[in-house]
Every structure is written in structure tokens, then in C-alpha cells.
Amino acid sequence: MPSRRTLLALGVTLGLVALIGAVVVPLLLPGDDSGDADAVVDPNAPVVAFYGDSYTLGTGASDPAERWSTRIAEDRGWTEFNPSVNGLGFVNNRQSFDGDDLPALIIAEDPDIVFVTMGLNDNFSYDRAAADIETQITRDFDRLTEGLPDARFIVVEPFWYTEERPDSVETIIGWVRDAAAAIDADYIPGASTWIRGQDEFMAPDGLHPNDAGYAHMAELMDAALVDLGL
């Protein structure tokens, strides 16, 4: 996809803005005292935003570089903007819809590509908030596409992790898939099974992927993106 970032090369200040956007998420991870001061950001690289929860943030990985989003971004020469948040869902742990939430941050970044990997955490509030979850999926997708009319959207089937899965998993997957179709987004199916019930891919907390799990997710995501021509 041709980049719309060539103007970043015109000024040091704008280059620094791009660099800050690329390292937002590593700063959010506990125990990470990075960014790499020597890292070079290509001002012409496509900017790719990731709207997700802990499985996209990289919780459980030994280093942010091990998470699947960073692996695929580096392999493709993308500039990663990843403000994902632990425990986030379409309804779970949301700030005010009109406030400084993730969709607002992503729209402000004006990315070329947007990944949406949400839905796992909404299973934990499904019994009390099913209708709100379905409504909010559509609201988020509409808000992002209206704010980013030129971006390409890639919606990933919500992740899951245990062999046993509540009925809500399939219901939320269906809502996400239908909402993706409504905005003509690319859709990647099957992600709810990628590490399901595979203990060797799980961190000691039993809830999040470990480095091997994220590497496995990156391999499957890479294959899906190749099928999409990316």
C-alpha cells in the first residue's frame, strides 16, 4: 500500500512525532525501560495501528519485540502504533466513548492500516451486557472508518485461549465478523483457535501467550496477511 507519510521527512519535529507513536506501547508494558534510542524510523513507511487488548499489547512476552504485532510490522517494514490495553473490550474497561480512548488515539495517528483484534474480554461481561457489546462493536467500526476514510481495515476474529469456550465466544465472533463485512474490511478467521488449549504457548499466568505463543500467532497471522496480499 502506498504510504501517505512522505511529509514526515520534511522536518525533525514531525520525525520525532512518528518515532513517539511507534513506541507508545512498549512504554506501557511493565518492566520495560526501553525504547531504543538508536532505532531508525523510515519516514516513508506505512503507519499501522493496532486496536486490541492484552493479546495485542504483548502481555506475557519477555519483551515487546516478541509480540506478534511487532514481529509482523518489522517483517514488513511498517511503523507500528500499538496503544492496546490490558483487559480492554468493546465494552470492558472503556473510558468515555467521546473521551481520550483508543479509537480517538488511532484516528489522531492517521494510520494507513488499522488492525482490530478486540472481543476476548467482552466474554466476561456477556451475561450482563450482551446488547451493549453488539452495539458498541458497530459504533467503534463506524467511528474508525468515518475518522479514517482512506485507511485499510483488517479485522481479526477475537482471540481465545482455553479448550473450553463459552457460547458467548461464537456469538461475539459472529458480531465482529458481521460488523467487519458492513465496513468492507478484510477479515481474518480462525484466530480464536490459534493457541486454544495449548499449554506450551501460555505464560505462567495461564492467561496470556508466552514468547512461543506469540511467535506461533505471528506465523499464522503472517500467512493470513500473505493471503490478503500484504
Q: Give the side-chain half-sphere CA count within 13 A for 227.
A: 11
Dihedral-angle region of residue 203 (phi above 0 means left; psi in -120 to 50 means alpha; beta otherwise): beta
The pLDDT of residue 23: 35
Q: Per the structure, how many domains does the chain have? A: 1
The pLDDT of residue 173: 98
Laid out side by side, the sheet with 152-156 consists of 79-81, 47-51, 113-116, 152-156, 186-188
DSSP letter at 88?
-
The pLDDT of residue 202: 97
- Dist. CA 125–CA 50, nearest whole Å: 23
Asked, for residue 130, whether it belongs to a domain, the answer is yes
The pLDDT of residue 32: 38
- Dist. CA 97–CA 39, nearest whole Å: 34
Asked, for residue 28, whether it belongs to a domain, the answer is yes
Name the pairing type of β-strands 47-51 and 113-116: parallel
Asked, for residue 1, whether it belongs to a domain, the answer is no
The domain of 98 spans 6-227
Q: What is the model's pTM? A: 0.82
Which mean pLDDT values do the consecutive 10-residue runs of the chain (230 residues) have? 44 34 36 40 90 97 98 98 94 67 94 98 96 97 98 98 96 98 98 96 97 98 98
Asked, for residue 194, whether it belongs to a domain, the answer is yes
The pLDDT of residue 29: 38
DSSP letter at 158?
P
**The domain spanning residue 155 has which CATH number?**
3.40.50.1110
The pLDDT of residue 95: 64
The pLDDT of residue 16: 32
The pLDDT of residue 100: 56
